[in-house]
Copies of this chain bind each other. A is one copy, B any other.
Amino acid sequence: MRRAAAPGRGSATIEVVAGQAGVSPKTVSRVINNERGVRAETRERVLTAIQQLDYQPNLAARGLAGDRSFLIGLFYDQPGDYLSEFQTGAVQRCREANLHLMVEPLEAASPHVGRDLSTLIRQLRLEGVILLPPLSDLPAVQAILAAADIPAVHIAPMHAQDDAPSVDTDDRAAVRQLTAELLQRGHRRIGFMLGRAGHRATEQRYLGFADAMHANGLDIDPQLVQAGNFEFAEGLECARRMLGCHPRPTAIFASNDDMAAAAVSAARQMSLALPRQLSVVGFDDAPVATMVWPQLTTVRQPVREIGRVAAELISQYQPHRQGWPRPVPRRHLPLELVLRGSIAPAPRNS
């Protein structure tokens, strides 16, 4: 009982290609999979046939026969610009490796994270996963990953796992440097807005701030350190509280641009002249950074590049050998300081 092949739909099978090239299907398979042991001339013939017939190997069949899926999963908790930039980079790299990316939301706060992740991994037979923060640090997620025995790359994890590669940026150093810029301009009372708890970025950015302050023998006024959770609205309240302190801070360092924009907004509502009476620094170089006036001094993350590197790491995993290359790869991508109009020398009278 031979089912009729849908005409037009799909392309030739490997047998047709084999016929055209005058070899066996297995040899075509060898060529497709880039295996060694095919004479150059044969390979050429096969390649030509593939081109002529515009042959596309059937993923499902390859997967079934070879016990693979050619799929890697990208899991996120929060949609947004970061995600879409990241995935664009990751997809680019995947295409080069003939893999495909499944992008899936996963609620970090849900009690079912683990189960959901596990279902997806097993249903799709994922060959690897990439975890965006804060997913990489959830114990439930780690448990599943450990059991699943597939390569996982963590993006900016709070606590790097011994056996899992990670990609991150040196947020701490960047904030340290930018804080130093403020100090150098004479600022001494500097407010700091924290991000969302559970993110590496939140911790590292604060540490960078603390580094710079302590390096200059300055103490940090606890009143001037507030959690804005990466949100504009909360940043607004933080800023108001900070700006209500006496003496007023002359600068505010926000852990992301949304909150920095909030600081600008709050200051404006209090009729402060920016940047003369208040300097503001953000992080991310988000679109809003150039939409507020004065434009935000901030830090640019190479998000697309991070995505690309993450996908690249996945393909470095050796399934049937020892797993990850040793030492387990950790990639630290450079950040770029972006100095714009939102910082100025501290006012004299403060």
Most buried by B among A3, A57, A59, A79: A79
- What's the Cα separation between A57 and B125 when bound, in Å? 10
Q: Is the CB of A79 within 8 A of B88?
A: yes
| A261 nearest CB across to chain B (Å) | 5
Residues of B within 8 A of A122 (CB): 10-11, 56
Q: Mark A63-101, 1 if CB is under 8 A from B, else 0.
A: 110010100000000011101110110011000000011
Interface residues of A toward B: which range?
35 or more
| Structural contact, A100 and B102, CB atoms closer than 8 A | yes
Q: Are B265 and A287 in contact (CB under 8 A)?
A: no
Of the candidates B3, B81, B147, B291, the one whose C-beta lies within 8 Å of that of A79 is: B81
A293 within 8 A of B: yes
Q: Is residue A119 contacting chain B, with contact meaning CB distance below 8 A?
A: yes
Given contacts A258-B291, A288-B288, contact A149 B9 (CB under 8 A): yes
**A269 at interface by CB-CB < 8 Å:** yes
- Residues of A128-151 whose CB lies within 8 A of B: 147-149
Q: Chain A 258-288, CB within 8 Å of chain B: the 1/0 string?
A: 1001100100110000000000000000011
Q: Quick check: A125 and B59 within 8 Å, CB to CB?
A: yes
Cross-chain contact A125 with B60 (CB below 8 angstroms): yes
Is A103 a contact partner of B101 (Cβ separation < 8 A)?
A: yes
Rounded to whole angstroms, the CA-CA distance of A313 and B86 in the bound complex is: 28
A99 to B205, CA, bound (A): 40
Given contacts A6-B67, A79-B81, A103-B101, contact A269 B293 (CB under 8 A): yes
Docked Cα-Cα span, A288 to B232, in Å, equals 9
Q: Which of B60, B79, B258, B291 contacts A60 (CB 8 A)?
A: B60
CB distance from A168 to the nearest CB of B (A): 21
A290 at interface, CB cutoff 8 A:
yes
Nearest-CB residue, chain B, relative to A78: B84
Question: Separation in Å of the A2 CB from the closest CB of chain B?
Answer: 13
Closest chain B CB from A166 CB (angstroms): 22
A329 to B191, CA, bound (A): 54
Instruction: Please name the residue on chain B nearest to A103 by beta carbon.
Output: B103
Which of B58, B149, B233, B292 is close to A125, meaning CB atoms less than 8 Å apart? Answer: B58
A9 / chain B contacts, CB cutoff of 8 Å: 148-149
Contacts of A80 in B (CB 8 A): 81, 84
Complex: how many Å from CA A11 to CA B233? 46
Is the Cβ of B103 less than 8 Å from the Cβ of A232?
Answer: no
Contact A79 B69 (CB under 8 A): no
Q: For A232, what are the chain B residues with a Cβ–Cβ distance below 8 Å?
A: 287, 290-291
Residues from chain B with a CB closer than 8 A to the CB of A59 are 60, 63, 69, 123-125
Interface flag for A15 (CB, 8 Å): no
Instruction: For the complex, give the distance between the alpha carbons of A101 and B84 in Å.
Output: 15
A304 smallest CB distance to B (angstroms): 8
Inter-chain contact B58/A61, CB cutoff 8 Å: no
A sample of 15 cross-chain residue pairs with beta-carbon separation below 8 angstroms, ordered by A number, consists of A3-B67, A10-B125, A58-B125, A59-B60, A59-B63, A60-B63, A80-B84, A83-B84, A87-B103, A88-B105, A100-B124, A265-B292, A268-B293, A269-B293, A287-B288
Shortest beta-carbon contacts, A-B, top 6 = A79-B84, A60-B63, A60-B64, A60-B60, A84-B84, A83-B84
